Amino acid sequence: MLLVAVVVVAVAGFSIYRLHGVFGSHNQASAGSGISNEIVAFNPKEVVLEVFGAPGTVATINYLDVNAQPQKALNMTLPWSYSIRTTQPAVFANVVAQGDSDSIGCRITVNGVVKDERTVTKVNAYTFCLDKSS
């Protein structure tokens, strides 16, 4: 009886081994077709962050760079601007500024189109501009 079980297991194992390659389980890697995986830049966009105010105004400016990392510019004389040129599908544009004068403004433009603009007139004026759809 033991001998029959061993023979059945051996025949079943050999059959599975022989049929293994018949049903599309080949482990063959095909070579690439020559198509490049490199993404070609197209439709670049230019995003400009601007802060403006009275002549001689000194401001602290916080903004997000092209990778959405916060940056700080201390004691900047106005007007101030930061340009980003990218082919990323979306850029989160944000600028926050506080100056030592009674008037300060900011503007975000994308490809020459104003997306957000604010001007504030108060003591030690503070303003922000935000565009989530650049």
The per-residue pLDDT for 108 is 94
Question: Is the Cα torsion angle 35, 37, 39, 40 positive or negative in sign?
Answer: negative
pLDDT of 28:
63
Q: What is the pLDDT of residue 110?
A: 92
Full pLDDT tens readout for the chain, 134 residues: 888 888 888 888 887 777 766 665 656 666 556 566 676 667 888 999 999 999 889 999 999 988 889 999 999 999 999 998 988 888 889 999 999 999 999 999 999 999 999 999 998 899 999 988 76
Assign domain 45-131 one CATH number from 3.90.550.10, 3.40.80.10, 3.40.47.10, 2.60.40.2880.
Answer: 2.60.40.2880
Per-residue DSSP letters for 56-125? T-EEEEEEE-TTS-EEEEEEEESSEEEEEEE--S---EEEEEEESSSEEEEEEEETTEEEEEEEEESTT-
Closest among 95, 129, 131, 128 to 111, alpha carbons compared = 131
Query: Model-level pTM greater than 0.85?
Result: no
Burial label, 47 (beta-carbon count in 10 A; 0-12, 13-18, 19+)? buried
CB 113 within 8 A of CB 78: no
